[in-house]
Structure 1
Amino acid sequence: MGAQIRVYRERIKSVGSIKKITRAMELVAASRVTKARQYVAESTPYALALTRAVSAVATFSDVDHPLTTERPDVKRAGVVIMTSDRGLAGAYSVSAIKESAELIAKLKSEGKEVVPYLVGRKAVSYYKFRKREYAADWTGFTDRPTFDAAREIGERVTGDFIAGSEEGGVDELHVVFTRFKSMVTQEPTVVRLLPLEVVEGTEAPAPDEVLPLYEFEPNASEVLDALLPKYVTSRLFNALLQSAASELAARQRAMKSATDNAEELIKTYTRLANQARQAEITQEISEIVGGASALADAK
């Protein structure tokens, strides 16, 4: 009986140590997710405005730019998959990988060869474990993305897109990331990054709406050359920021759940230890009473 009590106490001590760790991780994630949400709120309007600007140039000019022109025969499609570097974030990385798997299956059903670009150690581990090939990977910054990292990714995928499938590149490019909606909701999202999907002029104007007049200096081609690299980098940076905020929110929820489960385990083991101690005391009293009765009968 004493050995059983020692086992319960050791488990209570072990679970208590785990609870301290999960509680600390929950507090760290909660403190960092506030800044991550602020970064998302600050970067999203810029990314959307830049997208509209590039779309306006593509819509109201007669320039056929490589980054805005649809390829007639798409043979290879690139997919940028954004996951986390670390675990303990619930189903965050799994959901992104699952969304990318559905996209890859769809692209393959259309007869396209898929070229993955991986962001985060979870995606890299997933592909290496299954011995699947990928074009490039970037790790070490998923919870704190930098603009330089987004620029590096953008330069690589843009170069491959310009090269085209005939030279070992890709004919279109998709991004799979987790869109941050709230602390409770984070949604895996697929966005086609290249060629540019025109958003300007897709809806009919209102009767009293005055359409803007665009004038390009020095010319539309040079404006596109200047804007499109910024467009790709800003969209990738915004996707990285949204993924980082989603990762921290998912980690906070996961660690809170783990802390609550640890508290329940401690209560359970404490109750079992008390029951075992009570049983031991009851047994000792029974043995004493039995011994006393035996002595009394002997006299």
Structure 2
Amino acid sequence: MAGQQRVYRERIRSTQSLKKIFRAMELIAASRIGKARERVTAAAPYARAITRAVSAVATHAGVEHPLTTERPEKGRVAVLLVTSDRGMAGAYSASVLREGERRLQLLADEGKEVSLYLTGRRGVSFYSFRNRPVTRSWTGSSDSPTAELAHEIADTLLEAFMAADEEGGVGELHIVYTQFVNMVTQTPRVIRMLPLEVVEGVADPGEEALPLYEFEPSAEVVLDALLPRYVQSRIHSCLLQAAASELAARQRAMHTATENAEELIRTYTRLANQARQSEITQEISEIVSGADALSAS
């Protein structure tokens, strides 16, 4: 009984230590989720404005651009998976990896070769463990992505898209990330970024007449400057959405883990008290039995 009681006490102490860790991570995520949501909200007007500008320019330019032209001759496709650097976020990384695997399988069924790009250590470890080739990865700032990181990723992917087929160029770019809906709901999404399919922010001509544009010095120069900025903006928006989703998932997971630790502590405490009561009862029984034996003799 004494040994069993000691085991329960050790489990209580270890669970209390874990509870402190869970609670600290919950508070950290809660303190950062507000700023992450503000960044998502602040980036939304710019994303809408540049999307509408790209829509209008692409509509009135009347020229073909490499970023808007289908390339069926290229059989290689780039896929960017946005995962987290750390765990303890529930099913956040598992959900986006599962969605990414579906898209990879779909592209493979279409006979396309995939060049995989990753952000976050969870995705890197997932594919490294399975010996899957990764073209390039970025780690270290999944929960606080910067504009510089988004520009670096965008420049790398644009370079791969513009490269020739014999140089490893790709004909499409797909992004798998987690969209932040609210603190309870975060949804994995897959979008095709390149070639551009600009559909957001375009008004119905029957409802509102689109403005006429004059391009200076030319429509090609304007598109060369505007379309890469549009890609950078969309990638930055995806990273911000994923960061807010990661923090929300981690806060929720750590809150649940803290509650589970408290329930486990209560269970072990009850078992330890029962073991102690059994030990006391046994000692009293032994004393009474010894006293009866002495009186009988």
- TM-score for the superposition, normalised by structure 2: 0.96
Aligned partners of 1:29 and 1:252 also within 8 Å: yes
- Which residues of structure 2 form unaligned runs of 5+? none
Counterpart position of 1:88: 88
**Post-superposition offset of 1:200:** 6.1
**Post-superposition offset of 1:52:** 2.2
- Which residues of structure 1 form unaligned runs of 5+? none
Q: Aligned ranges for residues 106-117 of structure 1 at < 5 Å?
A: 106-117=106-117
Counterpart position of 1:42: 42
Cα deviation 1:189-243 (Å, max 9, x = unaligned): 111111110216977434x533322232222111111111111111111111111
Counterpart position of 2:13: 13
Deviates more, 1:24-33 or 1:213-222: 213-222
The amino acid across from 1:287 in the alignment is E
The amino acid across from 1:242 in the alignment is Q
| Aligned residues with identical type, % of pairs | 63
Q: Aligned ranges for residues 233-244 of structure 1 at < 5 Å?
A: 233-244=232-243
Counterpart position of 2:153: 153
The amino acid across from 2:69 in the alignment is T
The amino acid across from 1:64 in the alignment is E
Deviates more, 1:174-183 or 1:71-80: 71-80
Aligned partners of 1:55 and 1:197 also within 8 Å: no
Aligned partners of 2:52 and 2:201 also within 8 Å: no
CA distance in 1, matches of 2:83, 2:200: 31
The amino acid across from 1:199 in the alignment is V
Counterpart position of 2:295: 296
Aligned partners of 2:161 and 2:169 also within 8 Å: yes
Deviates more, 1:138-147 or 1:164-173: 164-173
Q: Aligned ranges for residues 1-299 of structure 1 at < 5 Å?
A: 1-199=1-199, 204-206=204-206, 208-298=207-297
CA distance in 1, matches of 2:80, 2:153: 9
CA distance in 2, matches of 1:72, 1:273: 69
Does the C-alpha gap of structure 1 residues 61 and 200 become closer, same or farther in structure 2, counting only changes over 3 Å? farther
Aligned partners of 1:84 and 1:119 also within 8 Å: yes
The secondary structure found in structure 1 opposite 2:237 is helix
CA distance in 2, matches of 1:247, 1:41: 16
**Post-superposition offset of 1:72:** 3.4
CA distance in 2, matches of 1:168, 1:73: 13
Aligned partners of 2:96 and 2:176 also within 8 Å: yes
The amino acid across from 2:39 in the alignment is Y
**Post-superposition offset of 1:60:** 1.4
The secondary structure found in structure 2 opposite 1:27 is helix
CA distance in 1, matches of 2:54, 2:177: 22
Cα deviation 1:26-66 (Å, max 9, x = unaligned): 00001101100110011122123212211221121111111
Cα deviation 1:254-293 (Å, max 9, x = unaligned): 1111111100110000000000011111111111111111
Aligned residues: 297
CA distance in 2, matches of 1:201, 1:293: 94
Aligned partners of 2:55 and 2:202 also within 8 Å: no
CA distance in 2, matches of 1:295, 1:134: 81
The amino acid across from 2:57 in the alignment is V
The secondary structure found in structure 1 opposite 2:61 is coil
CA distance in 2, matches of 1:133, 1:210: 49
The amino acid across from 2:14 in the alignment is S
